[in-house]
Protein backbone atom coordinates (compact mmCIF):
# COMPACT_ATOMS: atom_id res chain seq x y z
CA UNK A 1 0.00 0.00 0.00
CA UNK A 2 1.36 3.39 -0.96
CA UNK A 3 2.41 5.92 1.64
CA UNK A 4 -0.13 8.64 2.46
CA UNK A 5 0.60 12.23 3.40
CA UNK A 6 3.49 14.51 2.56
CA UNK A 7 7.14 14.04 3.35
CA UNK A 8 8.49 15.21 6.70
CA UNK A 9 11.83 16.08 5.10
CA UNK A 10 12.95 19.36 3.60
CA UNK A 11 16.03 20.16 1.55
CA UNK A 12 18.37 22.26 3.66
CA UNK A 13 18.86 24.79 0.87
CA UNK A 14 15.08 25.39 0.84
CA UNK A 15 14.76 25.93 4.61
CA UNK A 16 13.71 29.41 5.83
CA UNK A 17 16.61 31.88 5.68
CA UNK A 18 16.52 32.61 9.42
CA UNK A 19 17.03 28.94 10.39
CA UNK A 20 20.40 28.64 12.11
CA UNK A 21 21.47 25.43 10.39
CA UNK A 22 24.47 24.30 8.37
CA UNK A 23 23.24 24.38 4.79
CA UNK A 24 25.82 21.94 3.38
CA UNK A 25 26.05 19.42 6.22
CA UNK A 26 23.58 16.95 4.73
CA UNK A 27 20.87 17.04 2.10
CA UNK A 28 17.71 17.05 4.22
CA UNK A 29 16.38 18.56 7.44
CA UNK A 30 13.09 18.07 9.35
CA UNK A 31 10.11 19.86 7.79
CA UNK A 32 7.69 21.80 10.00
CA UNK A 33 4.30 20.11 10.13
CA UNK A 34 1.12 22.09 9.34
CA UNK A 35 -0.12 24.13 12.30
CA UNK A 36 -0.87 27.66 13.48
CA UNK A 37 2.37 29.10 12.07
CA UNK A 38 3.45 29.49 8.48
CA UNK A 39 6.40 27.26 7.65
CA UNK A 40 8.45 30.30 6.69
CA UNK A 41 7.87 31.80 10.15
CA UNK A 42 8.52 28.86 12.47
CA UNK A 43 11.05 26.24 13.51
CA UNK A 44 10.47 22.50 13.53
CA UNK A 45 10.90 21.60 17.21
CA UNK A 46 13.61 19.00 16.49
CA UNK A 47 15.62 21.56 14.51
CA UNK A 48 15.34 24.07 17.35
CA UNK A 49 16.59 21.52 19.89
CA UNK A 50 19.44 20.14 17.78
CA UNK A 51 20.71 23.04 15.67
CA UNK A 52 19.79 26.17 17.64
CA UNK A 53 19.68 25.28 21.33
CA UNK A 54 22.15 22.42 20.76
CA UNK A 55 20.76 20.35 23.62
CA UNK A 56 21.14 17.28 21.40
CA UNK A 57 23.58 16.42 18.64
CA UNK A 58 21.38 14.17 16.51
CA UNK A 59 17.76 13.95 15.44
CA UNK A 60 17.39 10.63 17.25
CA UNK A 61 18.48 12.22 20.53
CA UNK A 62 15.97 15.04 20.03
CA UNK A 63 13.20 12.50 19.37
CA UNK A 64 14.18 10.59 22.51
CA UNK A 65 13.90 13.75 24.64
CA UNK A 66 10.46 14.42 23.20
CA UNK A 67 9.30 10.83 23.67
CA UNK A 68 10.36 10.98 27.34
CA UNK A 69 8.29 14.14 27.90
CA UNK A 70 11.32 16.30 28.57
CA UNK A 71 10.19 19.26 26.41
CA UNK A 72 7.30 21.61 27.08
CA UNK A 73 5.87 24.24 24.73
CA UNK A 74 3.71 26.88 26.41
CA UNK A 75 3.55 24.72 29.52
CA UNK A 76 2.37 21.55 27.75
CA UNK A 77 4.46 18.43 27.11
CA UNK A 78 5.06 17.94 23.38
CA UNK A 79 6.10 14.70 21.66
CA UNK A 80 5.99 15.70 17.97
CA UNK A 81 9.46 16.49 16.59
CA UNK A 82 7.95 18.26 13.55
CA UNK A 83 5.74 20.54 15.67
CA UNK A 84 6.14 24.16 14.55
CA UNK A 85 7.18 26.69 17.19
CA UNK A 86 7.05 30.40 16.52
CA UNK A 87 6.83 33.95 17.82
CA UNK A 88 6.61 34.25 21.64
CA UNK A 89 6.36 30.49 22.21
CA UNK A 90 7.86 29.37 25.52
CA UNK A 91 10.16 26.33 25.29
CA UNK A 92 11.01 24.60 28.57
CA UNK A 93 13.76 21.99 28.95
CA UNK A 94 12.39 19.94 31.85
CA UNK A 95 15.67 18.15 32.57
CA UNK A 96 17.80 21.29 33.00
CA UNK A 97 15.07 23.69 34.07
CA UNK A 98 16.06 26.20 31.35
CA UNK A 99 13.28 28.12 29.63
CA UNK A 100 13.45 30.09 26.37
CA UNK A 101 11.10 32.49 24.62
CA UNK A 102 11.27 32.81 20.81
CA UNK A 103 11.56 36.49 19.85
CA UNK A 104 12.80 38.51 16.86
CA UNK A 105 16.31 39.88 17.24
CA UNK A 106 18.92 41.54 15.01
CA UNK A 107 16.75 41.14 11.88
CA UNK A 108 16.18 37.42 12.58
CA UNK A 109 12.56 36.35 12.93
CA UNK A 110 13.10 33.87 15.76
CA UNK A 111 15.88 33.76 18.33
CA UNK A 112 15.68 31.83 21.64
CA UNK A 113 15.85 34.21 24.61
CA UNK A 114 16.70 32.72 28.00
CA UNK A 115 14.11 33.77 30.59
CA UNK A 116 13.59 33.30 34.31
CA UNK A 117 11.45 30.42 35.52
CA UNK A 118 8.95 32.98 36.84
CA UNK A 119 8.21 34.08 33.27
CA UNK A 120 7.53 30.64 31.86
CA UNK A 121 3.86 30.94 32.82
CA UNK A 122 3.32 34.03 30.61
CA UNK A 123 3.45 34.82 26.92
CA UNK A 124 2.37 37.67 24.68
CA UNK A 125 -0.14 36.97 21.95
CA UNK A 126 -1.44 39.25 19.22
CA UNK A 127 -5.18 39.33 18.49
CA UNK A 128 -5.67 38.30 14.85
CA UNK A 129 -9.41 37.59 14.75
CA UNK A 130 -12.61 38.51 16.56
CA UNK A 131 -15.87 36.60 16.20
CA UNK A 132 -19.30 36.84 17.82
CA UNK A 133 -20.61 33.46 18.92
CA UNK A 134 -23.76 32.27 20.70
CA UNK A 135 -25.27 34.50 23.38
CA UNK A 136 -23.38 37.44 21.82
CA UNK A 137 -20.12 36.39 23.41
CA UNK A 138 -16.81 37.27 21.78
CA UNK A 139 -14.22 34.72 20.71
CA UNK A 140 -10.71 36.00 20.01
CA UNK A 141 -8.06 34.25 17.94
CA UNK A 142 -4.36 34.85 18.48
CA UNK A 143 -1.31 34.67 16.21
CA UNK A 144 -0.26 31.32 17.72
CA UNK A 145 -3.56 29.59 16.92
CA UNK A 146 -4.97 29.79 20.45
CA UNK A 147 -8.54 31.02 20.98
CA UNK A 148 -10.23 32.49 24.03
CA UNK A 149 -13.86 33.40 24.79
CA UNK A 150 -13.89 36.61 26.81
CA UNK A 151 -16.04 39.60 27.68
CA UNK A 152 -13.03 41.92 27.44
CA UNK A 153 -13.43 44.41 24.59
CA UNK A 154 -10.42 44.09 22.31
CA UNK A 155 -9.56 44.89 18.71
CA UNK A 156 -7.54 43.04 16.10
CA UNK A 157 -3.94 44.14 16.53
CA UNK A 158 -4.12 44.42 20.32
CA UNK A 159 -1.98 42.13 22.46
CA UNK A 160 -2.64 40.06 25.57
CA UNK A 161 -0.48 38.56 28.26
CA UNK A 162 -1.72 35.00 28.48
CA UNK A 163 -1.35 32.74 31.49
CA UNK A 164 0.10 29.33 30.64
CA UNK A 165 -0.78 26.56 30.18
CA UNK A 166 -4.49 27.40 30.69
CA UNK A 167 -4.53 30.26 28.09
CA UNK A 168 -6.12 32.82 30.40
CA UNK A 169 -6.07 36.54 29.58
CA UNK A 170 -4.08 38.19 32.35
CA UNK A 171 -3.58 41.63 30.78
CA UNK A 172 -4.82 43.50 27.72
CA UNK A 173 -2.63 45.98 25.81
CA UNK A 174 -4.20 48.26 23.22
CA UNK A 175 -2.52 48.95 19.89
CA UNK A 176 -2.44 52.72 20.22
CA UNK A 177 -0.18 55.72 19.77
CA UNK A 178 2.29 56.14 22.63
CA UNK A 179 2.52 52.44 23.47
CA UNK A 180 5.67 50.34 23.00
CA UNK A 181 5.90 48.19 19.89
CA UNK A 182 8.14 45.27 18.93
CA UNK A 183 8.96 44.88 15.23
CA UNK A 184 8.36 41.23 14.33
CA UNK A 185 9.34 41.14 10.67
CA UNK A 186 11.54 42.72 8.00
CA UNK A 187 15.01 44.27 8.20
CA UNK A 188 14.23 45.92 11.55
CA UNK A 189 12.95 42.74 13.23
CA UNK A 190 13.69 42.87 16.94
CA UNK A 191 13.60 46.65 17.17
CA UNK A 192 11.63 48.12 20.09
CA UNK A 193 10.27 51.66 20.17
CA UNK A 194 7.30 53.93 20.76
CA UNK A 195 4.36 53.89 18.36
CA UNK A 196 4.45 57.46 17.06
CA UNK A 197 1.59 57.36 14.56
CA UNK A 198 -0.99 54.96 13.11
CA UNK A 199 -1.95 55.70 9.51
CA UNK A 200 -5.20 54.53 7.95
CA UNK A 201 -4.93 52.30 4.93
CA UNK A 202 -5.64 53.40 1.37
CA UNK A 203 -6.87 51.49 -1.68
CA UNK A 204 -3.33 50.47 -2.67
CA UNK A 205 -1.61 50.80 0.72
CA UNK A 206 -2.35 48.81 3.91
CA UNK A 207 -2.79 50.36 7.33
CA UNK A 208 0.62 51.39 8.60
CA UNK A 209 2.35 52.35 11.83
CA UNK A 210 5.34 54.60 12.54
CA UNK A 211 7.70 53.32 15.23
CA UNK A 212 10.52 55.39 16.72
CA UNK A 213 13.83 53.55 16.94
CA UNK A 214 16.29 55.82 18.72
CA UNK A 215 17.06 58.80 16.48
CA UNK A 216 15.11 57.47 13.51
CA UNK A 217 11.60 56.32 12.72
CA UNK A 218 10.40 53.51 10.49
CA UNK A 219 7.03 53.06 8.81
CA UNK A 220 5.70 49.52 8.59
CA UNK A 221 2.48 47.60 7.93
CA UNK A 222 0.59 47.10 11.19
CA UNK A 223 1.02 43.32 11.02
CA UNK A 224 4.80 43.78 11.35
CA UNK A 225 4.47 45.35 14.81
CA UNK A 226 3.31 43.77 18.07
CA UNK A 227 2.42 46.05 20.97
CA UNK A 228 4.28 44.79 24.06
CA UNK A 229 3.53 47.34 26.78
CA UNK A 230 2.93 50.96 27.69
CA UNK A 231 6.25 52.51 28.69
CA UNK A 232 8.25 49.26 28.74
CA UNK A 233 7.54 45.66 27.65
CA UNK A 234 5.45 43.84 30.26
CA UNK A 235 7.52 40.68 29.83
CA UNK A 236 11.09 40.05 28.69
CA UNK A 237 11.32 40.23 24.88
CA UNK A 238 14.94 41.29 24.33
100 neighbors 113 (Cβ within 8 angstroms): yes
pLDDT of residue 1: 44
CA distance 110 to 102: 5
Q: What is the dotted CATH code of the domain comprising 121-173?
A: 2.40.50.740
- List all residues 6 or more positions away from 58 whose beta carbon is below 8 Å from its beta carbon: 50
pLDDT of residue 14: 73
- pLDDT higher at 150 or 203: 150
**How many residues in the chain?**
238
Q: Is the pTM of this model over 0.75?
A: yes
pLDDT of residue 4: 52
169 neighbors 160 (Cβ within 8 angstroms): yes
pLDDT digits over 149-176, tens only? 999 999 999 999 999 999 999 999 999 9
pLDDT digits over 183-200, tens only? 999 999 999 999 999 999
Q: What is the dotted CATH code of the domain comprising 9-115?
A: 3.10.290.10
CA distance 32 to 175: 31
CA proximity to 125, closest of 199, 2, 3, 235? 235
Amino acid sequence: MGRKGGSNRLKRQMAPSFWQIKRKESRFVVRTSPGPYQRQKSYALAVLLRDVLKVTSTLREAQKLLNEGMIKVDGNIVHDDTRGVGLMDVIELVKTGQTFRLVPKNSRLLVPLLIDSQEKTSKLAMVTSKTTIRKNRLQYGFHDGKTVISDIKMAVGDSCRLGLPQTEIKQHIKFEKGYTGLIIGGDNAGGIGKIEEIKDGLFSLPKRVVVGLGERSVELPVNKVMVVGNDIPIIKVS
